[in-house]
Amino acid sequence: MEVAYQDIHRDIVELSKAGNRKAQYQLYKLYSKAMFNICYRMLNNIEEAEDLLQEAFAEAFNKLESFRFESTFGAWLKRIVVNRCINHLKKRRAELVYTEDLPELKHNQEEPDHEQIQLEVMKVHKAMGLLPDGYRVIFSLYLIEGYDHSEIAQIMGITESTSKSQFSRARQKIKEIINTL
C-alpha cells in the first residue's frame, strides 16, 4: 500500500504537471532560494550553484509527470538537486580522501552567549567554504541537509563507514580552520 503525502502545494504541482507555465514559475519562486542554498553549500561556487539550480528545475519540470506525491514536492526536488550537485562534483573529479575514523571530539562545557554563537556559526560557514569538495559535500549532507550516513553512502556510492570517517575528518578540518581564523 502506497502512502500519498499531503503536499501544501499540491494544486500548484498539479497545474504544473498539466503544463501551466505560471504554476511552474510559482513553484520555482517557492523553492528556488532553498534549492540554491543547497547547491551553493555543496559546490561552494555561486555561478556553478546557479547553473545547477537551473538544470535541476529543468529536470524536475521534465520529470514532473513521474511525481506521484509519494513524498512532498520539496523533498522530491531536493533529491534531484542533491543528485545533480553530486554528479557535477564527480564530473569535476572531486576525489574523496578516505581515512580511518577519528576519535570523538570533546565538547566544551561552557554555554556561549548569543553573539558568541552567531560568531561561531559565521566561522563554521567560512570554514566550510575552505573544505575540499568531498569533505564539504558529506558535511553539508549530514549536518545541514539532515541525511544519515547510510543515505549519504547510497547517494555517493561509498560505504557507510567511509561517510562517517569523511564527516569526522571534515569536522576536524573545520576545527583546524576555525582555530586559524
Q: Mind listing the domains of the chain with CATH numbers?
A: 10-91 (1.10.1740.10), 114-180 (1.10.10.10)
181 pLDDT band, cuts 50/70/90, is confident
The pTM of the full predicted model, rounded to 2 decimals, is 0.64
Core vs surface per residue 106-128: b (16+ CB within 10 A) or e: eeeeeeeeeeeeeeeeeebeebb
Residue with cell 566550510: 128
Greater confidence (100 vs 19) lies with 19
- CB-CB contact of 86 with 156 (8 Å): yes
pLDDT of 103 strictly over 50: no
146, 126, 142: which is closest to 134 by C-alpha? Answer: 142
- CB-CB contact of 81 with 35 (8 Å): yes
CA–CA gap between residue 113 and residue 99 (Å, rounded):
35
Question: Per the structure block, which three cell numbers stand in for 175?
Answer: 576545527
Residues present in the chain in total: 181
Q: What is residue 151's predicted lDDT score, i.e. its pLDDT?
A: 87
117 pLDDT band, cuts 50/70/90, is confident
Q: What is residue 41's predicted lDDT score, i.e. its pLDDT?
A: 92
Per-residue pLDDT, averaged over 54-72, amounts to 94
Q: What is residue 156's predicted lDDT score, i.e. its pLDDT?
A: 85
